[in-house]
Structure 1
Amino acid sequence: MTKLIYLNGYAPALREQVQRLIDTDQLGAWLARRYPPAPAHAIQSNSALYDYTQRIKQAYLRSSVPVTKVSFDARLHVIDNALGQHQFISRVQGAKLKSKNEIKISALLKTLPEPLLQMVVVHELAHLREKDHNKAFYQLCEHMLADYHQRELDLRLFLTHQSLLTG
């Protein structure tokens, strides 16, 4: 029995279904059918990621606070299994309070299908309006990406499959 650490919050029936896919060595094939192997997406640099994030922000969160920096971070998957991180930084400059919003995305997402990268970017952008993972937060995620929850599950399945391959 494989420990499904990325699926801890999901229903037992779903976890059993995933376990059956693992036991019959079909999880990789299932993921390949859902996300056919293709050349890596074009979002490989920090500037491409920034432009990609800004396009999504402009489409759905135009009036939200600006994002000053978006970058890939190779350390993110190691720290608390986070694949994205948002930071709100406030600094006093003279008599003014300056604030910056930065987003970091795990470099692991350079190698995964673009729809999964999009899901993480949407997740981090939603934090511009909703700080906590509450009902309003997930409604905003679904507004920006209708199949948000399915993509989040798929990303967790990719992580599970990858952990099985690396042992």
Structure 2
Amino acid sequence: MNPRDRILEVGCGPGVAISLVAEKLDGGRITAIDRSTTAIERAARRNDAHVSTGTVVLRNTDLAKFRCDQASFDKAFAVNVNVFWVRDATAEIRVLWEALRPGGILHVVYGGAVSVHDRDKSRRVADTAARALVSAGFDVDVTNGNPMCVTGVRQKSA
């Protein structure tokens, strides 16, 4: 991670990852979104110091409704955000495509596999997310493990 990166976190929950990322930024910014008002309130309390400096920006919105300037972010990530594998996520992936700069990186992470059944589910999740990103024009790499990560690189055009 470059300390000047502009980063988007999708589904930030109570803001744990925000804290970890914000501490490594120097001139960069992390924008975190969550559709839950409660999650955004908790993330704001946890990251009050970073919010006050402008290093952290919080938005209470659903990913499909998130709006920003085109190519606003260098990187984006989502941890255990099920929209990528429980239904058609075309609208959400289009938002991410437009939000990332060409060459920008998206990480979709799914973790918690402890049994054979969980590992099978992780592979299905990875396959579903990877297919969706490929169909949107991302170059995709899958790391099957615990956690599983689908990494997409935004190309210049879809």
TM-score range, shorter chain: under 0.3
The structure richer in strand per residue is: 2
If you compute each CA radius of gyration, which structure gives the higher value, 1 or 2? 1
The structure richer in helix per residue is: 1
Q: Which has the higher contact order (CA 8 A, sep 6+)?
A: 1
